[in-house]
């Protein structure tokens, strides 16, 4: 592993990666030249300065557009991962769309704002897991309940019954639908890269599923990663995904959320190395970026709401960058919805309201992380 970190050898991800990095570097320089201070001297530069935002209910495209044009160049953001899921007015399968979805015209405006700000727009649909809230299915399984890995769990089930649903990766019809949705969203965003989520998959290889019963979770997980990867690669898109199911929780002490206790982690050695891993840890700067780099993956560290954790991850990534080009950078996450994050960023949310807490903490963490990226921390 050490040799791989030092030399980058054994990394088949080289094809396309230098061009990608050059593009990101140009975007970063453009962004920093447009309003923020130059990066501090002496610090190792990372090519990816990313922000993740989500669309979990109908939102305000005009608000996003203003934020992208105003704040992202000032902060130095050069990648915006936009988790849209099924909140898009799909033409291929309209019945999958959630209510009041974002439209192609909205995404055109967002895309134009990103282009103006020197930001690459990376759309996201959560694949495999996160197909529901507690019990109630999101768009895909609502439209195609036959894709559900556990259709026996009622729609009004609470958190005690399940965390969230998965689709069955072995259902013969699921990929035809999913790939059409991904293609449509990628085209609407004019994307070169696509984030497929795949975090926190707990329902997998279920005994109640006639196709998956008795199968190895790592084989099933790797098979789905590869199916998604190969489809995106056939369209010229690089795949991004969350890294938690590839991490042995027992080895790294992560617990069952940001690491795997359900047998999926051996899949890490069975998938393409040109997948970009978003390595999320929110309470500790776990040393898993070095693990992913040692396996040959490009990696970004992904904090959420604790600035000290984000800054420790940044320090770790800069250290790794001095040894390997696979240490790509940082991706600040937010889990309150794009609108709330923007309002928190501008100080418009009431701190006394409990439900605003996550957005405010993410915005504070984001500002501290990006000040440090710019060399101001």
Contacts to Zn ion by CB under 5 A: 149, 168, 170, 209, 211-212
How near is the Cβ of 220 to Zn ion at its closest, in Å?
A: 8
How many other C-beta atoms can be found within 10 angstroms of the C-beta atom of residue 203? 24
> Nearest distance from residue 160's CB to Zn ion, in Å?
22
| Residue closer to Zn ion (CB basis): 200 or 206 | 206
Nearer to Zn ion, 63 or 170 (CB): 170
Would you say 131 or 333 has its CB closer to Zn ion? 131
Question: Is 247 strand, coil or helix?
Answer: coil
Residue 164 and residue 129 in contact, taking contact as beta carbons nearer than 8 Å: yes
Q: Which residues touch 362 (CB under 8 Å, ≥6 apart)?
A: 304, 305, 332, 333, 334, 335, 336, 341, 344
| Smallest distance from Zn ion to CB 177, Å | 15
Say how far apart CA 314 and CA 351 lie, in whole Å: 27
Provide the minimum distance between the beta carbon of 161 and Zn ion in the complex, in angstroms, as a whole number.
18
CB 95, min distance to Zn ion, A? 22
Rounded least distance, CB 205 to Zn ion, Å = 7
Which residue lies nearer to Zn ion by CB, 215 or 357? 215
CB 324 within 8 A of CB 5: yes
Taking the least distance from each CB to Zn ion, the nearer of 151 and 377 is: 151
φ, ψ of residue 271 to 5 degrees: the values are -125, 165
Candidates 23, 40, 217; CA nearest to 120 is 23
Q: Is 76 helix (H, G, I), strand (E, B) or coil?
A: coil
The set of residues, in sequence order, having a beta carbon less than 8 Å from that of 59 and lying 6+ positions away, is: 87, 102, 337, 338, 339
Q: Is 89 or 168 the residue whose CB approaches Zn ion more closely?
A: 168
For residues 249 and 256, the answer to whether their CB atoms sit within 8 Å is: yes
């Amino acid at each position: 592993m050490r040799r791989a970190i030092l030399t980058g050898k054994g990394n088949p991800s080289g094809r396309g990666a230098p061009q990608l990095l050059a593009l990101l570097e140009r975007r970063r320089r453009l962004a920093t030249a447009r309003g923020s201070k130059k990066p501090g001297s002496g610090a190792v530069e990372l090519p990816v300065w990313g922000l993740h935002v989500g669309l979990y209910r109908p939102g305000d495209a005009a608000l996003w557009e203003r934020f992208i044009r105003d704040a992202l160049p000032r902060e130095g953001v050069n990648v915006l991962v936009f988790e849209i899921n099924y909140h898009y007015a799909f033409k291929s399968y309209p019945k999958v769309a959630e209510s009041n979805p974002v439209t192609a015209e909205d995404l055109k405006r967002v895309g134009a704002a990103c282009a103006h700000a020197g930001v690459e727009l990376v759309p996201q649909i959560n694949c495999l897991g996160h197909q529901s809230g507690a019990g109630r299915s999101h768009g895909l399984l609502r439209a195609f309940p036959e894709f559900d890995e556990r259709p026996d769990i009622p729609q009004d089930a609470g958190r005690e019954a399940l965390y969230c649903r998965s689709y069955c990766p072995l259902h013969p019809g699921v990929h035809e639908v999913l790939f059409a949705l991904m293609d449509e969203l990628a085209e609407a965003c004019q994307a070169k890269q696509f984030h497929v989520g795949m975090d926190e998959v707990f329902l997998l290889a279920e005994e109640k599923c006639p196709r998956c019963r008795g199968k190895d979770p790592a084989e099933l997980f790797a098979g789905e990663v590869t199916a998604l990867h190969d489809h995106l690669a056939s369209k010229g898109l690089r795949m991004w995904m969350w890294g938690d199911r590839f991490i042995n929780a027992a080895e790294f002490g992560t617990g069952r959320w940001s690491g795997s206790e359900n047998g999926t982690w051996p899949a890490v050695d069975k998938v393409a190395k040109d997948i970009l891993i978003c390595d999320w840890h929110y309470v500790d700067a776990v040393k898993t970026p070095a693990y992913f780099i040692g396996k040959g993956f490009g990696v970004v560290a992904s904090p959420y709401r604790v600035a000290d954790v984000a800054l420790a991850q940044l320090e770790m990534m800069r250290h790794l960058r001095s040894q390997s080009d696979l240490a790509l950078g940082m991706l600040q996450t937010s889990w309150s919805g794009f609108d709330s994050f923007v309002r928190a960023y501008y100080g418009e949310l009431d701190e006394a309201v409990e439900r605003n807490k996550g957005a405010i903490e993410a915005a504070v963490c984001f500002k501290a992380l990006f000040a440090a990226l710019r060399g101001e921390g």
